[in-house]
A = this chain, B = another copy of it.
Amino acid sequence: MASTNGDTNGHSVKHDSRFDPDFTRHVINATGPKATPRMRKVMGSFIQHIHDFARENELTVEEWMAGVEMINWAGKMSDEKRNEGQLMCDVIGLESLVDEITFKLAAETNDAATASAILGPFFRHDAPVLENESTIVHGVDDGEITYMHGIVRDLKTKQPVAGAWIDVWQASTNGLYEQQDENQIEHNLRGKFKTDENGRYAYYCLRPTPYPVPADGPAGKLLKLLDRHPYRPAHIHLIVQREGYKPVTTQIFDSKGDYLEDDSVFAVKDSLLVDFVPLKGNPKATLELNYPILIAPIEKST
């Protein structure tokens, strides 16, 4: 049924004798001489895989069009506050996979810093800058307030890094990020904190709770079609960055929470599990999370 040939771009071309054996090669070879080598490689491979996928499943026009409509729907729902195309990738594990690839490529040239995890579709670039020891929690009555703090250190020297930025965001106890919820104030449960001269950051946040990915878009529909639950385990998003260091995008997960084994977007890693511990003597919080962070200096080319 199938034979394999090379095409002029060096891809392996799989043939199914029922369908035109030259078609995919013809499409791939349409790429012109001025395309970058990376674009030629990546799109050639993408075309090959998508065509193989269509042939192997004998995908019909109606099925393909249903996919096109989901993609267009994703774009229509997306704006500066929401990225549904990204969320669709998340529920098929693609963001988590490219995160793993990117992190591994970085790790092969340097020591491994704090493990990364997916950005998720609810990040906002314009979170407010806040003072250390302040809170990101406003108007939440049913949450467990957590005093989260730690020291950011240089992966190589292990010395504290002053002036590093911690971007933190999390959903509220009702499972909604502020941009999804008109009852939350703008930028609730988000903030940017800068490490002090001792590399220390500190703020008050919520102990996170599980929440479902939104059911009103194509990602939610895809989960229903796949008979999967939509829940994400309880987590806090972090981006840590400083000039001269590789930025780290990560999520930390409550080690005692549900859905750690079946996260709907497949983002959990053992190295990202953290323990929320009881805190005594602080009227502002009942829990504490000490979370040290390592960031890798960018190597000077020698």
Q: Which A residues form the contact surface with B (CB < 8 A)?
A: 18-20, 23-24, 26-27, 30-36, 39-43, 45-47, 49-65, 68-69, 71-78, 83-86, 89, 92-102, 104-105, 119, 222, 225-228, 262, 266
Contact = CB atoms under 8 A, between A and B. Distances in A.
A19 B75 contact: no
Given A47-B93, A75-B77, 6 more contacts: A19-B97, A27-B266, A51-B97, A60-B102, A72-B83, A75-B75
A41 B61 contact: no
Nearest to A266: B27
A222 B47 CA distance: 12
Given A227-B33, A228-B31, A266-B26, A58 B101 contact: yes
A100 to B, nearest CB: 6
Contact of A68 (B85, B100, B228): B85
The DSSP consensus for interface residues of chain A is helix
Contacts of A61: 95, 98-99, 102, 119
A237 to B, nearest CB: 15
B227 A32 contact: yes
A225 B35 contact: yes
Given A30-B262, A75-B74, A75-B75, A51 B105 contact: no
B92 A226 contact: no
Which of A40, A43, A85 counts the most chain B CB atoms within 10 A?
A85
B49 A50 contact: yes
Contacts of A77: 75
A85 B40 CA distance: 21
A96 B23 CA distance: 9
A34 B227 contact: yes
Contacts of A18: 104
A17 B32 CA distance: 33
A27 B64 contact: no
Contacts of A89: 64, 68
Contact of A78 (B50, B76, B92): B76
22 contacts: A19-B100, A27-B92, A27-B93, A30-B266, A32-B226, A32-B228, A35-B227, A42-B57, A42-B59, A45-B57, A51-B97, A54-B94, A55-B97, A58-B101, A59-B101, A60-B98, A61-B99, A61-B102, A68-B86, A72-B74, A72-B84, A75-B85
